[in-house]
Amino acid sequence: MSKEAVEKFLKERGIKLEVKTFEDTSTVEKAAESLGVTPGEIAKSMLFKLKDRYIMVITSGDKKIDNKKFKNTFKSKAKMATPEEVLEITGHPVGGVCPYGLKTPVEVYYDVSLKNYEIVYPAAGDVNAALEVRVEDLDKIVEGEWVDVCE
């Protein structure tokens, strides 16, 4: 159902992106292998729990969150949401999380590591679904702020 929420989200906004189904895109490594791209080209979407709200940070798949940069940017420790919280807030299972078709609106932040690529591949609501998105279009599809929170 989550993949359908993504498709509905795109259709309602007139965004001409196709949700593609693969054998398994549940991890960065599996997604890169399935799509025939480098791990860096996978747009990794992570849900964090701050003191008073949840936020989604999307990074290049080969990068890790830098705890000091995260704390300086968000004035809070980087605390990942639990798999149960991820499903409850986003409506997407871990491995299929993306900023499209969310069950509950959350603030979205794009890490500058994504700008190393012209095209990236975020998940599309399921562990075997992904989209091909031009980096310059990311914040046009879902408004978000660009940040520098990776190592």
2-51 pLDDT, tens digit per residue, is: 899 999 999 999 999 999 998 888 889 988 998 899 999 999 999 999 98
Residue 21 lies in a domain: yes
Q: How far is Cα of residue 113 from the mean position of the Cα atoms in its chain? A: 13
- Joined tokens for residue 57: 């940070």
Residue 94 lies in a domain: yes
Residue 110 lies in a domain: yes
Residue 151 lies in a domain: no
Span of 22-31, 33-42, 107-116, 134-143 with lowest mean pLDDT: 22-31
Residue 150 lies in a domain: no
Residue 26 lies in a domain: yes
- pTM (predicted TM-score): 0.94
- Confidence grade of residue 132 (pLDDT, cut at 50, 70, 90): very high
- DSSP letter at 65? B
Can you give the residue range of the structural domain that contains 65?
Answer: 2-145
Residue 128 lies in a domain: yes
Q: How far is Cα of residue 101 from the mean position of the Cα atoms in its chain? A: 12
pLDDT of residue 1: 62
Span of 18-27, 72-81, 109-118 with lowest mean pLDDT: 18-27
CA-wise closest residue to 133 among 21, 17, 38? 17
Residue 25 lies in a domain: yes
Mean pLDDT of 92-105: 94
As a whole number of Å, the CA-based R_g of the chain is: 14
Number of domains in the chain: 1
The answer, yes or no, to whether residue 66 has pLDDT greater than 90, is: yes
CATH number reported for the structural domain that contains residue 33 in this entry: 3.90.960.10
- DSSP letter at 82? P
What percentage of residues in the chain have a pLDDT greater than 90?
A: 85
